[in-house]
Amino acid sequence: MLDRKYLVISLVYAVMGLLLGIYMAEARNHSLMVVHAHMMLLGFVVSFIYAVIYKNWLPRASGPLALAQFCLHQVSALVLISGLFMLYKQLAPEPVLGPILGVSSIGVLIALLLMIVLVLKEKSVRAGEYALT
């Protein structure tokens, strides 16, 4: 269930990020490069990686911890990307956006930590399976 949600959301972020990149190239104005990068990495790539993790290693994860991880990542990433857009378009001053960007960044980090907990709690997953050989 969460794997598909993450997959669909990641693809939406990919389209939005590519459209923003095309707009910046056409306008020859790359002032939103930071927004574009966060949209592609946090929105598309990280959400896609989470979809793969849920599909392959956490197929039974659907409890409150998994839902909290999903919601926290999605809300935090959206707030962070929106805040960066407002900052770089100068729609709001940094003193106003700074704390919001900080809290949303911490939210993304906590969501990652929750993913680690979910992976380590999964009985079919062992830390040794991830060792690089």
Q: What angle do CA 46, 71, 14 make, to 5 degrees?
A: 35
Determine, yes or no, domain membership for 91: yes
Position 9 pLDDT exceeds 70: yes
The reported pLDDT for the residue numbered 84 is 98
Determine, yes or no, domain membership for 130: no
Position 94 pLDDT exceeds 90: yes
Q: Which domain holds residue 106?
A: 2-121
Determine, yes or no, domain membership for 132: no
Determine, yes or no, domain membership for 89: yes
Per-residue pLDDT band for 130 (boundaries 50, 70, 90) equals low
Residues 6+ apart with CB under 8 A from 75: 107
| Calpha distance 80→109 (Å, rounded) | 12
Q: What is the pLDDT of residues 72-93, one digit of tens each?
A: 999 999 999 999 999 999 999 9
Phi, psi of 96 (to 5 degrees): -80, -45
Determine, yes or no, domain membership for 131: no
How many CB atoms are located within 10 Å of the residue 64 CB? Answer: 7
Phi, psi of 34 (to 5 degrees): -65, -40
Could you give the number of structural domains in the chain?
1
Determine, yes or no, domain membership for 126: no
Q: pTM (2 decimals)?
A: 0.89
| Calpha distance 83→108 (Å, rounded) | 14
Determine, yes or no, domain membership for 84: yes
Q: What is the pLDDT of residues 22-75, one digit of tens each?
A: 999 999 999 999 999 999 999 999 999 999 999 999 988 889 999 999 999 999
Determine, yes or no, domain membership for 45: yes
The reported pLDDT for the residue numbered 90 is 96
